[in-house]
């Protein structure tokens, strides 16, 4: 949303968006000129991610062990990861759970939480205390 604001010093109306950015500021920071809105951070993350490639529909599987194995395989085969494979795989799983938020049914949450424990088992880490 763009509002017209009068600059007191000069008395010239200037366009600003709701965050106070002028069109030049918006262009300088890579926002769309006509909307002056920033791209969503999640879309930017998806477009420019360094995350390993995942099998399609890996998080929709019913078997927690299969989810964990797929994440492990993906993390270990990736040449772009910045963290050890365990941290990379666990981060992908936690990111998915957090992005789904309250829309994720409790049954899926339980399966994905079990997948975390299976992932810990695959890497020889202790399970989370119940």
Q: With contact defined as beta carbons under 8 Å apart, do 6 and 13 qualify?
A: yes
Indicate the pTM of the whole model. 0.60
Task: Tell me what pLDDT residue 17 has.
Answer: 55
Whole-angstrom CA distances from 64 to 94, 114, 116, 119, 120 are 14, 6, 8, 9, 12
Q: Report which of residues 129 and 111 the model is more confident about.
A: 111
As a whole-number percent, the residues of the chain with pLDDT over 90 amount to: 32
Q: Residues 60, 66, 119, 50: is their CA dihedral positive or negative?
A: negative
Beta bridge partners of 16: 3
pLDDT over threshold 50, residue 65: yes
> Three-state DSSP class for 79?
coil
| 119 burial level (CB within 10 Å; 0-12, 13-18, 19+) | buried
Among the residues of 1-130, which ranges form H helices?
23-28, 41-47, 64-77, 85-100, 106-122
pLDDT top residue among 40 and 100 = 100
Token pair, residue 9, equals 């010093």
């Amino acid at each position: 949303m763009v509002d017209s604001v009068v600059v007191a010093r000069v008395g010239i109306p200037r366009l600003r968006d709701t965050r106070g950015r002028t069109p030049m500021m918006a262009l300088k920071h890579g926002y769309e000129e006509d909307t002056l809105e920033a791209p969503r951070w999640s879309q930017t993350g998806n477009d420019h991610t360094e995350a390993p490639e995942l099998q399609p529909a890996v998080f929709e599987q019913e078997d927690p062990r299969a989810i964990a194995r797929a994440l492990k395989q993906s993390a270990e085969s990736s040449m772009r990861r910045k963290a050890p494979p365990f941290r990379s795989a666990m981060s992908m799983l936690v990111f998915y759970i957090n992005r789904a938020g309250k829309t994720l049914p409790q049954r899926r949450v339980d399966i994905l939480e079990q997948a975390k424990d299976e992932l810990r088992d695959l890497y020889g880490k202790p399970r989370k205390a119940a």
